[in-house]
Amino acid sequence: MIRMEQEVINSANQLNGESNNKVVAVLGVGHVVNDSYMNFFQPLLPLLIATMGLSLAQVGLITAVFSVTSSVSQIIIGSVTDRFGTRAFVYLGPLLAAIMMSSIGLIYDYVLLLIVVSLAGLGIAAFHPPASAIVGHTNTRNSGRAMSLFSLGGNVGFAAMPLIVVPLVATFGLSATPVLVLPGIAVAILLYRLTARIQYLNQRVGTPFLSTVRSQLIPFVALLGTVAFRSLAFFSLITFLPILLAGRGYSLVAGGAILSVLALSGALGGLLGGILSDRTGPRPVIIGSQLTSVPFLLLALFSSGTMFIVLLGLVGASLLASFSVAVVAAQQIFPDNRATASSLALGFGLGLGGLGVGLISFVADAFSFGIEQTVFYVSFLPIVAAAFALGLPGKRVE
């Protein structure tokens, strides 16, 4: 198995003459486009609520369903990738996401909206495990930096989409969303050309994952708990923040721009966190960043104007500083199952957190919590994530 792992690393390093930096860059571009569709419908929620008459519980169900297909399903995709290898996931995933998400503006039925968002989530999910595994193999000495650069692409795409889709819809109406399928088509072609040169993607790699879990049970539970509660806090924010902003009198365009500030600052925080983790190891970065985000979020809730936006930026930077670091931690815990490990940090754990948004929404409706009160309670979730992170490996792994 060690010999096979080394052969995979060597083939990933060589890639028929392609440099590691170019591979990470191309996959990073793919990550930009793929994850931009992950933040497609959330900025439009105030408009969808108005046009469809959706309740907070229905909004929470959309987010929960999307989280299952875009995140939880990654554990299956990662397992398939590790055992059989498939390059098709890398380029067909963004294509499916683009086609489904861009059709939202043509839909006026709630059930059909759930179906389309679910299929889009599957497309988004398909890209992450194999792409993250490739990045994890390209640079084992500076894995934090490589993964943070790759993750930066996803966070940038996530931050950029509200700045694109909201002005488009505000100017031309919901029926204009199909034009946003074009980036997905373009990047699918680019990724197809890249993966055609990576031979090992169709080879079986890794030992049975469940066998590894039994020997690493505490780090496994710690990883899932950390990612789940961190993502619960973040998904709750991106779901409830547009509603909170609308209640405070912000326009749809302004709300989308503020949501982008949160996501873009998270991208920068993730880059810094990944670089720092190469020096300190994942655990200190994860614990420190989660604890730091709590006071920033509480202060933001009681602020307004420019200070409110600045504090939200600090929330995003601290909350997502551990984003790429968690992927590195997962691949260190399960080095023979990198795609499956990535799916835990990028998918399954995120999905558990996303499912919690639906629960929070139903509880908020049941107890008649206002949106401000709901976000206040959400502010304390990163503390739970930091507590779980205590069970992660504490040393830097070479």
Instruction: Find the CATH number of the domain harbouring 234.
Output: 1.20.1250.20
Under 8 Å between Cβ of 108 and 309: no
> Could you tell me if residue 396 is inside a domain?
no
Helices (H), 203-322: 209-215, 217-247, 252-280, 282-301, 305-319
> Could you tell me if residue 191 is inside a domain?
yes
Residue-range definition of the domain harbouring residue 364: 2-389
pLDDT for the residue 5? 37
> Could you tell me if residue 107 is inside a domain?
yes
pLDDT for the residue 160? 84
- Print pLDDT tens along the chain (398 aa): 333 334 334 444 444 444 567 777 888 899 999 999 988 988 888 888 888 888 877 887 887 788 788 877 777 777 777 666 667 888 999 999 999 999 998 988 899 999 999 999 999 988 988 887 777 666 555 566 777 778 778 878 887 888 899 899 989 988 899 999 999 999 999 998 887 766 554 555 555 666 667 767 888 888 888 988 998 898 888 888 888 888 888 887 788 788 778 878 887 888 888 888 878 888 899 999 999 999 999 999 888 888 999 999 999 999 888 877 887 787 777 776 766 777 777 666 666 666 788 788 888 888 888 888 888 998 999 999 999 999 887 654 44
> Could you tell me if residue 249 is inside a domain?
yes
Burial of 163-179, coded b for 16+ CB within 10 Å and e otherwise, reads: bbbbebbeeeebeebee
Total number of domains in the chain: 1
How far apart, in whole angstroms, are the C-alpha atoms of residue 314 and residue 103? Answer: 34
> Could you tell me if residue 395 is inside a domain?
no
The two three-digit tokens of residue 27, written as one number: 């996959």
pLDDT for the residue 329? 82
> Could you tell me if residue 394 is inside a domain?
no
> Could you tell me if residue 397 is inside a domain?
no
pLDDT for the residue 273? 86
pLDDT for the residue 184? 95
Handedness of CA 210, 211, 214, 217 (dihedral sign): negative
How far apart, in whole angstroms, are the C-alpha atoms of residue 352 and residue 240? Answer: 18
Single out the residue of 69, 76, 132, 30 nearest to residue 339, CA to CA. Answer: 132
> Could you tell me if residue 180 is inside a domain?
yes
